[in-house]
Amino acid sequence: MAGAKSEFIAWDRTLHPAAFTPTYKTSVLRSPRHALLSLHNSLSEVTGPVFGHNEIGLLDNDLIRNYAKSGDPIGERIIVHGRVLDEMGRPVPKTLVEFWQANAAGRYRHKKDTYLAPIDPNFGGCGRTITDENGYYYFRTVKPGPYPWRNYINSWRPAHIHFSVFGSGFVQRLITQMYFEGDPLIPICPIVNVIPDKAAVDRLIAPLDMNEQVPMDSLCYRFDIVLRGSRSTLFENRLEGN
Amino acid sequence: MPQELHYLKQTASQTAGPYVHIGLAPHAAGFDIFQNNFSNVLAGAGTRGERIVIEGRVFDGTGTPVRDALVEIWQANSFGRYNHPADTQDKELDPEFRGWGRAAADFNTGVYTFDTVKPGPVIGRHGRPMAPHVSVWVVARGINIGLNTRMYFADETAANGADPVLNLIELESRRKTLLAARSERDGKVVYTFDIHLQGDQETVFFDV
Protein backbone atom coordinates (compact mmCIF):
# COMPACT_ATOMS: atom_id res chain seq x y z
CA MET A 1 0.00 0.00 0.00
CA ALA A 2 3.01 2.30 -0.39
CA GLY A 3 1.23 4.26 -3.11
CA ALA A 4 -1.91 4.73 -1.09
CA LYS A 5 0.06 6.26 1.77
CA SER A 6 1.27 9.17 -0.27
CA GLU A 7 -0.83 12.15 -1.08
CA PHE A 8 -3.03 12.49 -4.09
CA ILE A 9 -2.22 14.60 -7.10
CA ALA A 10 -4.44 17.68 -7.11
CA TRP A 11 -7.78 17.80 -8.86
CA ASP A 12 -7.12 19.01 -12.40
CA ARG A 13 -9.58 21.89 -12.34
CA THR A 14 -9.04 22.57 -16.05
CA LEU A 15 -10.93 19.34 -16.75
CA HIS A 16 -13.69 19.51 -14.15
CA PRO A 17 -16.64 21.88 -14.26
CA ALA A 18 -16.58 25.02 -12.14
CA ALA A 19 -19.13 25.25 -9.33
CA PHE A 20 -20.89 28.30 -10.79
CA THR A 21 -22.11 27.57 -14.33
CA PRO A 22 -25.11 29.81 -15.15
CA THR A 23 -26.11 27.88 -18.27
CA TYR A 24 -26.87 24.97 -15.94
CA LYS A 25 -29.27 27.07 -13.93
CA THR A 26 -29.55 24.98 -10.77
CA SER A 27 -25.86 25.57 -10.11
CA VAL A 28 -26.40 29.30 -9.61
CA LEU A 29 -27.69 29.08 -6.03
CA ARG A 30 -25.84 25.90 -5.15
CA SER A 31 -22.29 27.01 -5.90
CA PRO A 32 -19.82 28.32 -3.32
CA ARG A 33 -18.57 31.82 -4.06
CA HIS A 34 -15.47 31.73 -1.89
CA ALA A 35 -12.37 30.08 -3.31
CA LEU A 36 -11.85 26.53 -2.15
CA LEU A 37 -9.18 26.34 0.54
CA SER A 38 -6.30 24.22 -0.74
CA LEU A 39 -5.22 21.62 1.75
CA HIS A 40 -2.28 19.25 1.83
CA ASN A 41 -3.46 15.70 2.31
CA SER A 42 -3.35 14.18 5.76
CA LEU A 43 -4.46 10.73 6.91
CA SER A 44 -8.02 12.04 6.76
CA GLU A 45 -7.74 12.43 3.00
CA VAL A 46 -5.61 9.45 1.94
CA THR A 47 -7.83 6.97 3.75
CA GLY A 48 -11.37 6.00 2.78
CA PRO A 49 -13.94 3.27 3.21
CA VAL A 50 -13.18 -0.29 2.16
CA PHE A 51 -16.03 -2.45 0.85
CA GLY A 52 -16.26 -6.22 0.68
CA HIS A 53 -17.90 -8.58 -1.79
CA ASN A 54 -20.10 -9.84 1.04
CA GLU A 55 -21.87 -6.48 0.99
CA ILE A 56 -22.92 -6.86 -2.62
CA GLY A 57 -25.66 -9.21 -3.87
CA LEU A 58 -25.17 -11.62 -6.75
CA LEU A 59 -27.61 -9.73 -8.99
CA ASP A 60 -26.47 -6.27 -8.03
CA ASN A 61 -24.58 -5.83 -11.31
CA ASP A 62 -27.42 -7.16 -13.46
CA LEU A 63 -30.02 -4.45 -14.01
CA ILE A 64 -31.92 -6.74 -16.37
CA ARG A 65 -32.60 -9.16 -13.52
CA ASN A 66 -32.25 -7.27 -10.26
CA TYR A 67 -35.76 -5.81 -10.33
CA ALA A 68 -37.45 -8.17 -12.76
CA LYS A 69 -40.97 -9.03 -11.53
CA SER A 70 -42.84 -10.52 -14.48
CA GLY A 71 -40.16 -10.65 -17.18
CA ASP A 72 -37.22 -8.75 -18.57
CA PRO A 73 -37.27 -4.95 -18.83
CA ILE A 74 -38.04 -3.38 -22.21
CA GLY A 75 -35.09 -1.92 -24.09
CA GLU A 76 -31.81 -2.54 -25.88
CA ARG A 77 -29.81 -5.05 -23.90
CA ILE A 78 -26.27 -3.83 -23.27
CA ILE A 79 -23.17 -4.69 -21.31
CA VAL A 80 -21.14 -1.80 -19.89
CA HIS A 81 -17.59 -2.63 -18.93
CA GLY A 82 -14.27 -0.95 -18.35
CA ARG A 83 -11.55 -0.26 -15.85
CA VAL A 84 -11.12 2.13 -12.99
CA LEU A 85 -7.58 3.50 -13.23
CA ASP A 86 -5.63 6.32 -11.68
CA GLU A 87 -3.73 9.00 -13.54
CA MET A 88 -0.57 6.89 -13.53
CA GLY A 89 -2.47 4.18 -15.36
CA ARG A 90 -2.50 1.96 -12.27
CA PRO A 91 -5.65 -0.08 -11.74
CA VAL A 92 -7.85 0.84 -8.79
CA PRO A 93 -8.70 -2.62 -7.45
CA LYS A 94 -11.53 -3.67 -5.12
CA THR A 95 -13.29 -0.35 -5.25
CA LEU A 96 -17.04 0.13 -5.13
CA VAL A 97 -18.68 1.33 -8.36
CA GLU A 98 -22.36 2.26 -8.25
CA PHE A 99 -24.54 3.21 -11.21
CA TRP A 100 -28.08 4.39 -11.86
CA GLN A 101 -30.10 5.39 -14.87
CA ALA A 102 -33.47 6.01 -16.47
CA ASN A 103 -35.30 3.16 -18.16
CA ALA A 104 -35.42 2.69 -21.93
CA ALA A 105 -38.17 5.32 -22.19
CA GLY A 106 -36.20 7.90 -20.26
CA ARG A 107 -38.17 7.60 -17.01
CA TYR A 108 -36.58 7.19 -13.59
CA ARG A 109 -37.97 5.03 -10.83
CA HIS A 110 -38.02 7.93 -8.39
CA LYS A 111 -40.85 9.55 -6.48
CA LYS A 112 -39.80 12.96 -7.79
CA ASP A 113 -39.72 12.05 -11.51
CA THR A 114 -42.97 13.10 -13.20
CA TYR A 115 -42.00 12.68 -16.86
CA LEU A 116 -44.94 11.22 -18.79
CA ALA A 117 -42.98 8.25 -20.16
CA PRO A 118 -43.92 4.99 -18.44
CA ILE A 119 -42.25 3.30 -15.51
CA ASP A 120 -41.03 -0.17 -16.48
CA PRO A 121 -42.37 -2.61 -13.90
CA ASN A 122 -39.34 -4.82 -14.42
CA PHE A 123 -36.65 -2.19 -14.18
CA GLY A 124 -35.23 -0.64 -11.01
CA GLY A 125 -32.44 1.29 -12.66
CA CYS A 126 -29.56 0.88 -10.25
CA GLY A 127 -26.73 -1.50 -9.55
CA ARG A 128 -23.25 -1.78 -8.12
CA THR A 129 -20.14 -3.87 -8.27
CA ILE A 130 -16.60 -4.03 -6.93
CA THR A 131 -13.62 -3.82 -9.29
CA ASP A 132 -11.33 -6.85 -9.54
CA GLU A 133 -7.54 -6.88 -9.03
CA ASN A 134 -7.09 -5.16 -12.39
CA GLY A 135 -9.62 -2.44 -11.70
CA TYR A 136 -12.05 -4.12 -14.09
CA TYR A 137 -15.83 -3.92 -13.71
CA TYR A 138 -18.86 -4.84 -15.78
CA PHE A 139 -22.60 -4.83 -15.54
CA ARG A 140 -25.62 -5.61 -17.69
CA THR A 141 -28.55 -3.30 -18.28
CA VAL A 142 -30.81 -1.80 -20.93
CA LYS A 143 -29.80 1.35 -22.73
CA PRO A 144 -31.42 4.36 -21.02
CA GLY A 145 -33.57 6.75 -23.04
CA PRO A 146 -33.11 10.52 -23.32
CA TYR A 147 -35.59 12.72 -21.48
CA PRO A 148 -36.68 16.35 -21.29
CA TRP A 149 -36.07 18.60 -18.30
CA ARG A 150 -36.65 22.18 -17.29
CA ASN A 151 -33.47 24.15 -17.69
CA TYR A 152 -34.49 26.15 -20.68
CA ILE A 153 -38.19 25.73 -21.46
CA ASN A 154 -37.30 22.35 -22.78
CA SER A 155 -33.82 20.86 -22.59
CA TRP A 156 -33.08 17.22 -23.30
CA ARG A 157 -30.58 15.03 -21.52
CA PRO A 158 -28.67 12.69 -23.80
CA ALA A 159 -28.93 9.03 -22.83
CA HIS A 160 -26.61 8.56 -19.88
CA ILE A 161 -25.68 6.37 -16.93
CA HIS A 162 -24.62 7.94 -13.64
CA PHE A 163 -21.51 6.51 -11.97
CA SER A 164 -20.29 6.84 -8.40
CA VAL A 165 -16.74 5.67 -7.63
CA PHE A 166 -14.73 5.59 -4.41
CA GLY A 167 -11.04 4.86 -4.96
CA SER A 168 -8.73 4.18 -2.02
CA GLY A 169 -8.94 7.62 -0.39
CA PHE A 170 -12.06 9.60 0.44
CA VAL A 171 -10.89 12.60 -1.61
CA GLN A 172 -10.84 10.50 -4.77
CA ARG A 173 -14.61 10.26 -4.48
CA LEU A 174 -16.16 10.95 -7.87
CA ILE A 175 -19.58 11.11 -9.42
CA THR A 176 -19.84 11.38 -13.17
CA GLN A 177 -22.04 10.42 -16.11
CA MET A 178 -21.36 8.15 -19.05
CA TYR A 179 -22.76 9.02 -22.48
CA PHE A 180 -23.18 6.88 -25.60
CA GLU A 181 -21.20 7.20 -28.80
CA GLY A 182 -23.09 8.93 -31.58
CA ASP A 183 -25.80 10.61 -29.48
CA PRO A 184 -26.63 13.97 -31.13
CA LEU A 185 -27.95 15.36 -27.82
CA ILE A 186 -24.50 15.34 -26.21
CA PRO A 187 -23.14 18.60 -27.69
CA ILE A 188 -26.32 20.55 -26.87
CA CYS A 189 -26.73 19.37 -23.27
CA PRO A 190 -26.34 22.16 -20.67
CA ILE A 191 -24.99 19.67 -18.11
CA VAL A 192 -22.39 18.24 -20.50
CA ASN A 193 -21.40 21.74 -21.51
CA VAL A 194 -20.34 22.80 -18.01
CA ILE A 195 -17.16 20.80 -18.70
CA PRO A 196 -14.63 23.33 -19.96
CA ASP A 197 -12.52 20.94 -22.01
CA LYS A 198 -13.78 19.27 -25.19
CA ALA A 199 -11.43 16.31 -24.81
CA ALA A 200 -12.70 15.81 -21.25
CA VAL A 201 -16.25 15.59 -22.63
CA ASP A 202 -15.10 13.04 -25.20
CA ARG A 203 -13.70 10.90 -22.40
CA LEU A 204 -17.22 10.64 -20.94
CA ILE A 205 -18.52 9.11 -24.17
CA ALA A 206 -18.44 5.33 -24.22
CA PRO A 207 -17.71 3.77 -27.60
CA LEU A 208 -19.57 0.79 -28.92
CA ASP A 209 -17.34 -2.23 -28.25
CA MET A 210 -18.23 -4.93 -30.75
CA ASN A 211 -15.46 -7.22 -29.48
CA GLU A 212 -17.25 -7.69 -26.18
CA GLN A 213 -20.83 -8.00 -27.42
CA VAL A 214 -22.71 -11.13 -26.47
CA PRO A 215 -23.73 -12.66 -29.82
CA MET A 216 -27.49 -12.75 -30.40
CA ASP A 217 -27.99 -11.17 -26.97
CA SER A 218 -26.40 -7.83 -26.01
CA LEU A 219 -24.39 -4.97 -27.44
CA CYS A 220 -21.50 -3.65 -25.39
CA TYR A 221 -20.09 -0.23 -24.47
CA ARG A 222 -16.70 0.44 -22.92
CA PHE A 223 -16.21 3.08 -20.24
CA ASP A 224 -12.92 3.60 -18.42
CA ILE A 225 -12.83 5.90 -15.41
CA VAL A 226 -9.68 7.72 -14.30
CA LEU A 227 -9.39 8.85 -10.69
CA ARG A 228 -6.75 11.12 -9.21
CA GLY A 229 -3.43 9.37 -8.85
CA SER A 230 -1.16 9.37 -5.85
CA ARG A 231 2.50 10.27 -5.92
CA SER A 232 4.84 7.31 -5.94
CA THR A 233 7.89 9.09 -4.53
CA LEU A 234 7.90 10.30 -0.96
CA PHE A 235 10.90 12.56 -0.47
CA GLU A 236 9.48 13.99 2.67
CA ASN A 237 8.24 12.98 6.07
CA ARG A 238 5.53 10.38 6.32
CA LEU A 239 2.17 12.08 6.41
CA GLU A 240 1.66 11.12 10.01
CA GLY A 241 5.14 12.25 11.04
CA ASN A 242 8.26 10.33 11.96
CA MET B 1 10.99 17.16 -28.30
CA PRO B 2 11.36 15.94 -24.72
CA GLN B 3 9.94 12.59 -23.72
CA GLU B 4 6.20 12.45 -23.34
CA LEU B 5 4.49 12.05 -19.97
CA HIS B 6 2.10 9.19 -20.45
CA TYR B 7 -0.27 10.07 -17.68
CA LEU B 8 -4.00 9.61 -18.03
CA LYS B 9 -6.42 12.48 -17.61
CA GLN B 10 -8.87 12.56 -14.72
CA THR B 11 -12.45 11.70 -15.63
CA ALA B 12 -14.52 14.88 -15.40
CA SER B 13 -17.07 15.18 -12.61
CA GLN B 14 -20.75 15.60 -13.41
CA THR B 15 -23.62 16.47 -11.12
CA ALA B 16 -25.23 13.66 -9.15
CA GLY B 17 -28.55 15.02 -10.39
CA PRO B 18 -31.98 14.98 -8.77
CA TYR B 19 -32.25 11.19 -8.88
CA VAL B 20 -29.01 10.34 -7.09
CA HIS B 21 -31.10 8.42 -4.56
CA ILE B 22 -31.90 5.70 -7.09
CA GLY B 23 -28.31 4.61 -7.17
CA LEU B 24 -27.04 5.52 -3.73
CA ALA B 25 -30.11 5.38 -1.48
CA PRO B 26 -32.94 3.58 -3.31
CA HIS B 27 -35.24 3.57 -0.28
CA ALA B 28 -35.24 7.35 -0.43
CA ALA B 29 -36.17 7.17 -4.11
CA GLY B 30 -39.14 5.06 -3.06
CA PHE B 31 -38.26 1.44 -3.78
CA ASP B 32 -36.48 -1.56 -2.40
CA ILE B 33 -33.95 -3.44 -4.51
CA PHE B 34 -30.74 -4.38 -2.66
CA GLN B 35 -30.49 -6.88 0.18
CA ASN B 36 -27.85 -4.76 1.85
CA ASN B 37 -28.25 -1.00 1.84
CA PHE B 38 -25.58 1.47 2.82
CA SER B 39 -26.90 3.78 5.45
CA ASN B 40 -26.48 6.68 7.81
CA VAL B 41 -25.80 4.38 10.78
CA LEU B 42 -22.05 4.05 11.34
CA ALA B 43 -22.08 2.71 14.86
CA GLY B 44 -23.47 -0.68 15.86
CA ALA B 45 -24.21 -2.14 19.29
CA GLY B 46 -20.58 -3.15 19.75
CA THR B 47 -18.91 0.04 18.55
CA ARG B 48 -16.74 1.67 21.16
CA GLY B 49 -16.82 5.34 21.98
CA GLU B 50 -19.28 8.08 22.78
CA ARG B 51 -22.47 7.68 20.76
CA ILE B 52 -23.47 10.83 18.95
CA VAL B 53 -25.94 11.99 16.34
CA ILE B 54 -24.74 14.35 13.64
CA GLU B 55 -27.53 16.22 11.95
CA GLY B 56 -28.05 19.32 9.91
CA ARG B 57 -29.28 20.77 6.70
CA VAL B 58 -27.65 21.95 3.51
CA PHE B 59 -28.73 25.45 2.48
CA ASP B 60 -28.58 27.17 -0.90
CA GLY B 61 -27.78 30.82 -1.57
CA THR B 62 -31.29 31.96 -0.62
CA GLY B 63 -31.19 30.11 2.70
CA THR B 64 -33.55 27.41 1.43
CA PRO B 65 -32.79 23.84 2.51
CA VAL B 66 -31.45 21.66 -0.30
CA ARG B 67 -33.91 18.82 0.09
CA ASP B 68 -32.33 16.59 -2.52
CA ALA B 69 -28.77 16.69 -1.14
CA LEU B 70 -26.81 13.55 -0.39
CA VAL B 71 -24.15 13.71 2.31
CA GLU B 72 -21.39 11.21 3.06
CA ILE B 73 -19.04 11.26 6.02
CA TRP B 74 -15.71 9.57 6.73
CA GLN B 75 -14.11 9.56 10.15
CA ALA B 76 -11.65 7.91 12.48
CA ASN B 77 -12.83 5.62 15.27
CA SER B 78 -13.06 6.71 18.89
CA PHE B 79 -9.34 6.03 19.35
CA GLY B 80 -8.44 8.30 16.46
CA ARG B 81 -7.56 5.66 13.90
CA TYR B 82 -8.97 5.16 10.42
CA ASN B 83 -10.15 1.73 9.36
CA HIS B 84 -7.84 1.73 6.33
CA PRO B 85 -4.48 0.08 5.59
CA ALA B 86 -2.75 3.44 5.05
CA ASP B 87 -3.35 4.39 8.69
CA THR B 88 -0.50 2.78 10.64
CA GLN B 89 -0.83 4.88 13.79
CA ASP B 90 -0.21 2.85 16.93
CA LYS B 91 -3.83 2.96 18.06
CA GLU B 92 -6.59 0.41 18.37
CA LEU B 93 -8.75 -0.56 15.45
CA ASP B 94 -12.42 -1.11 16.21
CA PRO B 95 -13.72 -4.07 14.19
CA GLU B 96 -17.25 -2.77 14.75
CA PHE B 97 -16.58 0.52 13.02
CA ARG B 98 -15.87 1.26 9.35
CA GLY B 99 -16.20 5.01 9.74
CA TRP B 100 -18.23 5.75 6.62
CA GLY B 101 -21.87 6.60 6.18
CA ARG B 102 -24.27 8.05 3.67
CA ALA B 103 -27.45 10.06 4.29
CA ALA B 104 -30.06 11.51 1.99
CA ALA B 105 -31.62 14.75 3.14
CA ASP B 106 -35.28 14.42 4.05
CA PHE B 107 -37.43 15.47 1.08
CA ASN B 108 -39.67 17.56 3.34
CA THR B 109 -37.38 19.05 5.96
CA GLY B 110 -33.99 18.83 4.28
CA VAL B 111 -32.51 17.32 7.46
CA TYR B 112 -29.76 14.73 7.19
CA THR B 113 -28.75 12.54 10.13
CA PHE B 114 -25.94 10.18 11.09
CA ASP B 115 -25.69 7.82 14.07
CA THR B 116 -22.02 7.45 14.89
CA VAL B 117 -19.39 7.80 17.60
CA LYS B 118 -17.23 10.78 18.31
CA PRO B 119 -13.85 10.30 16.59
CA GLY B 120 -10.60 10.58 18.49
CA PRO B 121 -7.86 12.97 17.37
CA VAL B 122 -5.71 11.89 14.43
CA ILE B 123 -2.09 12.80 13.83
CA GLY B 124 -1.76 15.33 11.02
CA ARG B 125 1.13 16.26 8.80
CA HIS B 126 4.56 16.60 10.39
CA GLY B 127 3.29 15.00 13.57
CA ARG B 128 0.93 17.83 14.46
CA PRO B 129 -2.26 16.49 16.03
CA MET B 130 -5.54 17.41 14.40
CA ALA B 131 -8.61 18.12 16.49
CA PRO B 132 -11.32 15.45 16.26
CA HIS B 133 -13.16 15.95 13.00
CA VAL B 134 -15.35 14.27 10.43
CA SER B 135 -14.73 14.57 6.67
CA VAL B 136 -17.90 15.56 4.85
CA TRP B 137 -18.76 15.29 1.15
CA VAL B 138 -21.88 16.84 -0.36
CA VAL B 139 -23.46 16.21 -3.74
CA ALA B 140 -26.80 17.25 -5.21
CA ARG B 141 -28.49 18.44 -8.34
CA GLY B 142 -26.78 21.72 -9.25
CA ILE B 143 -23.47 20.75 -7.63
CA ASN B 144 -21.10 20.05 -10.51
CA ILE B 145 -18.33 18.52 -8.45
CA GLY B 146 -18.68 17.07 -4.95
CA LEU B 147 -17.89 19.52 -2.15
CA ASN B 148 -15.44 18.53 0.58
CA THR B 149 -15.48 20.04 4.03
CA ARG B 150 -14.81 19.03 7.62
CA MET B 151 -16.98 19.07 10.69
CA TYR B 152 -15.27 19.90 13.99
CA PHE B 153 -16.74 19.67 17.48
CA ALA B 154 -17.44 23.09 18.98
CA ASP B 155 -16.82 21.87 22.53
CA GLU B 156 -13.22 20.85 21.71
CA THR B 157 -12.08 24.42 22.22
CA ALA B 158 -8.41 23.75 23.00
CA ALA B 159 -7.90 21.14 20.29
CA ASN B 160 -9.70 23.27 17.72
CA GLY B 161 -7.53 26.24 18.63
CA ALA B 162 -4.43 24.21 17.78
CA ASP B 163 -5.81 22.46 14.72
CA PRO B 164 -3.59 22.97 11.67
CA VAL B 165 -6.48 22.97 9.22
CA LEU B 166 -8.77 25.37 11.10
CA ASN B 167 -5.80 27.67 11.50
CA LEU B 168 -5.29 27.75 7.75
CA ILE B 169 -8.59 29.59 7.38
CA GLU B 170 -7.43 33.18 7.18
CA LEU B 171 -10.67 34.86 8.05
CA GLU B 172 -11.21 33.79 11.64
CA SER B 173 -14.94 34.41 11.42
CA ARG B 174 -15.22 31.69 8.78
CA ARG B 175 -13.68 29.01 11.02
CA LYS B 176 -16.93 28.72 12.92
CA THR B 177 -18.68 27.47 9.77
CA LEU B 178 -16.94 24.15 10.47
CA LEU B 179 -17.94 23.91 14.14
CA ALA B 180 -20.89 21.74 15.11
CA ALA B 181 -22.67 22.75 18.31
CA ARG B 182 -23.36 20.10 20.94
CA SER B 183 -26.77 19.65 22.51
CA GLU B 184 -28.77 16.87 24.11
CA ARG B 185 -32.17 15.62 23.00
CA ASP B 186 -34.08 12.60 24.28
CA GLY B 187 -30.98 11.39 26.06
CA LYS B 188 -28.86 11.55 22.92
CA VAL B 189 -25.90 13.77 22.21
CA VAL B 190 -26.57 15.73 19.04
CA TYR B 191 -24.06 17.75 17.05
CA THR B 192 -25.71 20.13 14.60
CA PHE B 193 -23.78 20.83 11.44
CA ASP B 194 -25.51 23.03 8.88
CA ILE B 195 -23.78 23.45 5.56
CA HIS B 196 -24.23 26.69 3.63
CA LEU B 197 -23.36 26.37 -0.04
CA GLN B 198 -23.41 30.12 -0.52
CA GLY B 199 -24.22 33.39 1.23
CA ASP B 200 -23.08 35.23 4.35
CA GLN B 201 -22.50 32.01 6.26
CA GLU B 202 -20.92 30.07 3.38
CA THR B 203 -19.18 26.96 4.70
CA VAL B 204 -15.45 26.64 4.12
CA PHE B 205 -14.95 24.03 1.41
CA PHE B 206 -11.61 22.47 0.65
CA ASP B 207 -9.66 21.63 -2.46
CA VAL B 208 -8.13 18.46 -1.07
The domain locations on chain B are 20-196
Provide the 3-class DSSP secondary structure of residue B20.
Answer: helix
Residues of A in contact with B126 (CB under 8 A): 237, 241
Q: How confident is the model at residue A231 (pLDDT cuts 50, 70, 90)?
A: confident
Residues of A in contact with B18 (CB under 8 A): 110, 112-113
Q: Which of A43, A85, A242 sits opposite B87 (nearest CB)?
A: A43
Q: Which of residues 187-206 of A touch B (CB under 8 A)?
A: 191-192, 194-195, 197, 199-201, 203-204
* A2 lies within 8 A of chain B by CB: no
pLDDT averaged over every residue in chain B:
97
Asked if residue A68 has pLDDT above 80, the reply is yes
Whether B29 and A110 lie within 8 Å, measured CB to CB? yes
Do the interacting molecules here have an ipTM over 0.85?
yes
Asked if residue B164 has pLDDT above 70, the reply is yes
Asked if residue A241 has pLDDT above 60, the reply is no
Q: Is A221 among the residues known to form the active site?
A: no
List C-alpha distances in Å: A129 to A54, A95, A97, A143, B12.
Answer: 11, 8, 5, 18, 21
List C-alpha distances in Å: A205 to A224, A228, B144.
Answer: 10, 19, 18
Please report the sign of the dihedral spanned by the C-alpha atoms of residue B61, residue B65, residue B70, residue B71.
Answer: positive
Residues of B in contact with A126 (CB under 8 A): 22-23, 26, 33
Q: Which of A5, A89, A242 sits opposite B8 (nearest CB)?
A: A89
Asked if residue A210 has pLDDT above 80, the reply is yes
User: Tens of pLDDT along B56-96?
Assistant: 999 999 999 999 999 999 999 999 999 999 999 999 999 99
Q: Which residues pair with B149 in a beta bridge?
A: B136
Number of Cβ within 10 Å of residue A75's Cβ equals 19
Q: Average pLDDT, stretch B4-30?
A: 97
Q: Which of A31, A240, A242 sits opposite B197 (nearest CB)?
A: A31
Distance between CA atoms of B140 and B131, rounded to whole angstroms?
Answer: 28
pLDDT at B126: 87
* B163 lies within 8 A of chain A by CB: no
Asked if residue B190 has pLDDT above 70, the reply is yes
User: Tens of pLDDT along A134-181?
Assistant: 999 999 999 999 999 999 999 999 999 999 999 999 999 999 999 999
* A98 lies within 8 A of chain B by CB: yes
pLDDT at A233: 63
Q: How many CB pairs under 8 A join A and B?
A: 281
DSSP state of A13: T
pLDDT at A239: 62
pLDDT at B186: 96
* B134 lies within 8 A of chain A by CB: no
pLDDT at A236: 55
Please report the sign of the dihedral spanned by the C-alpha atoms of residue A103, residue A134, residue A205, residue A26.
Answer: positive
Residues of B in contact with A31 (CB under 8 A): 61, 142-144, 197-198
pLDDT at A1: 36
Radius of gyration of chain B (CA): 18
Please report the sign of the dihedral spanned by the C-alpha atoms of residue B200, residue A12, residue A97, residue A49.
Answer: negative
Q: H-type helices in B35-194, by residue range?
A: 157-161, 172-175
Domains detected in chain A: 18-26+54-226 (2.60.130.10)
User: Tens of pLDDT along B107-147?
Assistant: 999 999 999 999 999 999 989 999 999 999 999 999 999 99
Asked if residue A204 has pLDDT above 70, the reply is yes
> Is CATH 2.60.40.10 the classification given to domain B20-196?
no
pLDDT averaged over every residue in chain A:
94
User: Tens of pLDDT along A75-96?
Assistant: 999 999 999 999 999 999 999 9
Asked if residue A242 has pLDDT above 90, the reply is no
User: Tens of pLDDT along B30-49?
Assistant: 999 999 999 999 999 999 99
Share of chain B above pLDDT 70, in %: 100
Asked if residue A2 has pLDDT above 80, the reply is no
Q: Which residues pair with B116 in a beta bridge?
A: B52
Whether B61 and A108 lie within 8 Å, measured CB to CB? no
Asked if residue A232 has pLDDT above 80, the reply is no
* B37 lies within 8 A of chain A by CB: no
Asked if residue A237 has pLDDT above 70, the reply is no
List C-alpha distances in Å: A155 to A115, A190, B17.
Answer: 13, 8, 15
pLDDT at A235: 58
Residues of B in contact with A49 (CB under 8 A): 74, 83-84, 98-100
pLDDT at A240: 56
* A62 lies within 8 A of chain B by CB: no
* A236 lies within 8 A of chain B by CB: no
Closest CA to A44 of B184, B60, B73: B73
